[in-house]
Amino acid sequence: MTSHSTVLITGASTGIGAVYADRFARRGHDLVLVARDKARLEALAARLREETGVAVDILAADLTQPDDLAAVEARLREDAKIETLINNAGAALFGSFIDQSTDDVARLITLNITALARLASAIAPRLVQADKGAIVNIGSVVGLAPEFGASVYGATKAFVLFLSQGLSLELAPKGVYVQAVLPAGTRTEIWERAGIDISAMPDLMGVEELVDAALVGFDRRELVTIPPLHDAARWEVLNAARQTLVVGIQQAHVAERYRTTA
C-alpha cells in the first residue's frame, strides 16, 4: 500500500468507521467514505480535509439496497487509487431468535454478510492484479460464542471470520493482506439502534482504543486481531485445535462410534 493510496471505509459516518477515517487521514491517505447519513459524512469529510489536507470523497449509500451497493462495488472495481477496503458497515440483532421478524433477520444478513462479501469480491481481483492492497473485515467475538445468545448476529460474524481466513489463504500469496478484526462490546451506536441502553454497560471498550489496537494488528499484518483478548495464546490454542480437527476428519469412512452393530 503506497503512502498516498486511497482507503474506502463503509459505515464511516460514526463510531468505528469514523475513527478509521480519522486515523488513515492522519497517515496521509485519501478517503472514500460510505454510509447512509449524508449530512454526517459531509461534516466528517469537511473536518478531515481541514485538519489533514487529504482528499475525501463521500458516497451516501444504504448497503442493503441493491442500487446503492452496486454503486460502491463499481467504485471499488474502477478506482485504481483505492488500495484498502475497510468493511465496517454492520448492524446488530439481539434477543430470542423466535422473537425476531423474518424481515429483520434477512436485512441483517444482507448487510453483515452479503454486502461485505460483495464489496470484497469487487475489489479483490484488482488488488491481485496490482499485487498489493488490503481488505479489513470487522467481525466480532460474538462470532466465536453462540453462548452469548445472539444467534443470527453471531452467525454473521462467524461468516466474517471464516471468509477472512479463507481469503487470506487465497490472496496473501498474491500480495493482498486480509485482516479480521474481532471487537468485544464497543461503545458505538449499534447498541442504540438495537434498542439497548448502554448506560448500564460500563465495560464497553472505547472506539478510539479499539481502532488504534486494530491498526497495530494491521501494521503487524495479523490475520486475526482481537483487541480485548489479553492472552493471545488462547487464540493460538483454539486455532491449533481447529487445524488438528480438520486433519482428523479427512477420512473415507465414518467414525467407529457411528457404526451400527448387528
The domain that holds 107 is classified in CATH as 3.40.50.720
Identify the pLDDT of residue 5. 95
Identify the pLDDT of residue 203. 74
Q: Say yes or no to pLDDT of 147 above 80.
A: yes
Q: Would 246 be classed as within a structural domain?
A: no
The residue type at 97: F
Q: Would 247 be classed as within a structural domain?
A: no
Q: Would 41 be classed as within a structural domain?
A: yes
Q: Would 50 be classed as within a structural domain?
A: yes
Q: Say yes or no to pLDDT of 137 above 60.
A: yes
Task: Give the chain's domain count.
Answer: 1
User: Rounded mean pLDDT of the chain?
Assistant: 92
Let me know: does 110 contact 119? Beta carbons within 8 Å. Answer: no
Judged on CB neighbours under 10 Å (0-12, 13-18, 19+), 40 is middle
Mean pLDDT of 180-196: 74
- Say whether 20 is catalytic: no
Q: Would 260 be classed as within a structural domain?
A: no
Buried b (16+ CB within 10 A) or exposed e, 119-157: bbebbbebbbeeebbbbbbbbbbbbbeeeeebbbbbbbb
229-240 pLDDT, tens digit per residue, is 999 999 999 999
pLDDT band at 260 (very low <50, low <70, confident <90, very high): confident
Catalytic residue among 20, 153, 177, 258: 153
Q: Would 256 be classed as within a structural domain?
A: no
By residue range, what is the domain housing residue 17? 6-231
29-77 pLDDT, tens digit per residue, is 999 999 999 999 999 999 999 999 999 999 999 999 999 999 999 999 9
Q: Would 243 be classed as within a structural domain?
A: no
66-125 pLDDT, tens digit per residue, is 999 999 999 999 999 999 999 999 999 888 999 999 999 999 999 999 999 999 999 999
Q: Would 74 be classed as within a structural domain?
A: yes
